[in-house]
Structure 1
Amino acid sequence: MSTPRARSGTDEQGRGRELRRPPAPEPLPLEVIDNHTHLDVADSDDSADVEDLLAAAARAGVGRAVQIGCDLPAARWTVGVLDEHPQLLGGIALHPNEAPSLAEAGELDQAIEEIRSLAAHPRVRVIGETGLDYFRTPPAGVAAQQESFRRHIRLAHETGLALQIHDRDAHADVLRILREEGAPERTVFHCFSGDAAMARECSEAGYYLSFSGTVTFKNAGPLREALRAAAPDRLLVETDAPFLTPTPYRGRPNASYLIPLTVRSMAETLGADLEELCARLTSATEDVYGPW
């Protein structure tokens, strides 16, 4: 039975967090897919294992998910869990924040080769999350992040897998490197954080934009404008669980069963019929990742 790895009860600023899981929301009328979750990371005061979390998600109308492993231990864990749970597909990569330390230790080449090997698993459908994160990276680490990103893009091309991008405070460089390397046909901006102009640019390039619980936050008006500007057939939804829990439970542990809160907020922002939006989200997700 697969069990998430433990994690301390602090958010990324180090403040104490409420570790009880929120109550289940009203289920969705049609299935949607969580296209980015980290089931390997525990962030709760309960003992729920992967089977429990997937069952809770199914009751909420979230019958399938894409498990993302973004360092070598998580990538290995991801490949193992895919054989246990047919509801899951997988994505593996080296998170951009991993790249500088691996490069400094002379281990980046070896780590990318292991990602390449693990990506041969038939249920791994994503190279990601990769990209750039300038929020924590000092200037000395930027070159290693950009080199790692380029090599992951090439790996996605080589394997024919989708690419999932992590982009934090690095919009211009992410878009530039995608142009220079040539974006894979199926490129997803995980937890999209750009503005409406960027959403239009990404849509024109054919990229998929995945929205998380951040779109529900009170201060996320520009992100909701980006949602309205995005191509309707290129929208995806995710949790990034156990992080980015939607309103009204921001700060508590996230999980796939809470996606109905995000989808209903998206439908309200778009003025869309809820069932129609669910169907569009599922269709786009299957276009990216293929059959389960």
Structure 2
Amino acid sequence: MKPPRLLRIAVPMLLLAGVLAACAPVQTLNALTPRSTFELTANVPYGTHPRQQLDVYRPTATAPAGGWPVAVFFYGGTWNGGDRADYRFVGEALASRGILTLVADYRVYPEVRYPSFVEDSAAAVAYGLQQATALGGNPRRVFVVGHSAGAYNAAMVALDPRWLKAAGTTPRALAGWVGLAGPYDFYPIENPDAKPVFFHPDYPPKSQPFEFVSADAPRTFLGAARKDKLVDPQRNAVALGNRLKDAGVPVQVKLYRHVGHVTLAASMAAPLRWLAPVLDDVALFIDTGRPVPRQMPEAASAAP
């Protein structure tokens, strides 16, 4: 017997209020996150620094032939903070759709500035490529995924070959990338928290993802809130998507109603999936992506 319609509406709205409240919003989501869809291996180092660690969410369902698709996820936080443990709801969401998920920390300001967090992100992605088979994943179906500042990291890793080359591989080894509410063209910086990260007003050259669009870019999914008040979706997601399309790159751009900058990512959590079909769209993008070719000469040094 279904509960009354008023109750079915009121309960999710109360959950959403908890997410938006100042007191422990992520803990609220994680407390309501199912535990039966994944096996967690926490605190896996991909480097020597304490923040160069990741958590592995392995789906509990039977793996497909060749192994699970792999997603390496980076959270946001204006490159000023964040903790991978706060994004258990993302690890569960993707694992529940049969995606082996690595949620990675990276160094942040004031300990570091650009480009250290991009270097860390590339190292975490290289780890995912190197260890995919050992973890039960498919090394030919590795995706990089990010939200907000994490989407910037993902974009730089996927579009600018400098970073993965330094980590011993290449963006051509990726089956695709996903950016959610990401900033890809944001100079001059208005956000005071981001200004020192990028040496405002003396911005580093070649530090904006849109500068690296080429026909070699991996298959792309860009999602954003239609009325994002923090990161302009037209200047960032739509404009980058148009550049990629003009370069001949397979790209999807989706703007979502009824969510904002933060709730776009929160809608992936089990209690809030009614807000927007972000998880459905990301999972479908990953599931339908073609594996990269077996022979990747430039990525030979990234083998386990």
TM-score (norm: length of structure 1): 0.42
TM-score (norm: length of structure 2): 0.41
Higher relative contact order (CA 8 A, sep 6+): 1
